[in-house]
Amino acid sequence: MWRVFLYLQLITDNQLMFAIREPFASKRTQTGIVAGILTGSSKLIIESFMPNYGLIFYDGIEADFIKFNAGCIATIGIAKEKVKLVLPG
């Protein structure tokens, strides 16, 4: 059974919302967290058990990915430095 998490709250500048696109639940992986919001100095630490074709990408842009195969560990959190998006106009 898949659990779907729906967040209806707005996030602030100091929060980061994450979602695991394809959380393959199994006895080995014991997937328990598939979505959430990081705040402050909290970190999301992910380890890959996929032997091949594991990927991490952001904002739904698959072409801009990082290979994430078995043994790789990613630590994700909120950066101390902020950037400002400037649009022409």
Q: Is residue 50 part of a domain?
A: yes
Band (pLDDT 50/70/90 cuts) for residue 73 is very high
25 versus 52: the higher-pLDDT residue is 52
Overall number of domains in the chain: 1
Closest CA relative to residue 23, chosen from 58, 60, 50: 50
Which residue segment(s) compose the domain that 68 sits in?
15-76
Q: Report the length, in residues, of the chain.
A: 89
Q: Is residue 36 part of a domain?
A: yes
CA–CA distance, 11 with 74 (Å, rounded to integer): 23
Supply the mean pLDDT for the chain: 79
Q: Which bin fits 72, alpha (ψ -120 to 50), beta or left (φ > 0)?
A: beta
Q: Is residue 4 part of a domain?
A: no
Q: Is residue 2 part of a domain?
A: no
Residue 4 has a pLDDT of: 47
Cβ–Cβ under 8 Å, residues 74 and 68: yes
Within 14-82, residue ranges assigned H as helices are none
Cβ–Cβ under 8 Å, residues 74 and 13: no
Cβ–Cβ under 8 Å, residues 65 and 57: yes
pLDDT per position as a tens digit, 14-25: 888 887 776 666
Task: Note if the pTM is more than 0.85.
Answer: no
State yes or no: pLDDT of 37 exceeds 70: yes
Q: Is residue 83 part of a domain?
A: no
Band (pLDDT 50/70/90 cuts) for residue 29 is low
Q: Is residue 30 part of a domain?
A: yes
